[in-house]
């Protein structure tokens, strides 16, 4: 036996041990859960602020303070949708880099989105 390598314990080789499951399944799942929950809450907040801004713009147009073009609103909505899609795919890609634990982190992210 080489002095550089430590002997493997039963917890390291047993796939159903609590030590193995917590480090390889539990922790990445919790990380994904928190990221997904936070992402959905921030999306809701952004939609609330965006909706409020639209209502203010429509009210300003109604009272003759400003003019609002439908094309510019559609372009802004398209840009916001693309940005949200890129952010979501970035988070999924980043969570899947947890090597073998990527499935657990990605599942946690999706559960966090559901709970948020």
Q: Is the pLDDT of residue 41 over 90?
A: yes
Model confidence, pTM: 0.66
Of residues 39 and 24, the one with the higher pLDDT is 39
Quick: pLDDT tens for 58-86.
999 999 998 888 898 899 889 988 988 88
Whose CA is closest to 35, among 100, 97, 80?
97
Whether 101 and 22 have beta carbons less than 8 Å apart is answered as no
Q: What is the model's pLDDT at position 75?
A: 92
Whose CA is closest to 20, among 10, 31, 7, 34?
10
Q: Is the pLDDT of residue 19 over 50?
A: yes
Q: What is the model's pLDDT at position 15?
A: 47
């Amino acid at each position: 036996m080489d002095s550089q390598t430590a002997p493997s314990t039963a917890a390291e080789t047993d796939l159903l041990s609590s030590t193995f499951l917590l480090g390889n399944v539990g922790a990445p799942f919790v990380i994904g859960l928190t990221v997904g929950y936070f992402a959905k809450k921030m999306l809701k907040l952004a939609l609330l602020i965006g909706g409020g801004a639209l209502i203010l713009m429509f009210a300003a147009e109604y009272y003759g303070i400003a003019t609002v073009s439908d094309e510019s609103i559609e372009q802004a909505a398209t840009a916001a949708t693309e940005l949200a899609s890129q952010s979501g795919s970035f988070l999924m890609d980043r969570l899947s880099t947890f090597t073998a634990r990527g499935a657990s982190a990605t599942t946690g992210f999706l559960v966090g989105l559901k709970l948020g």
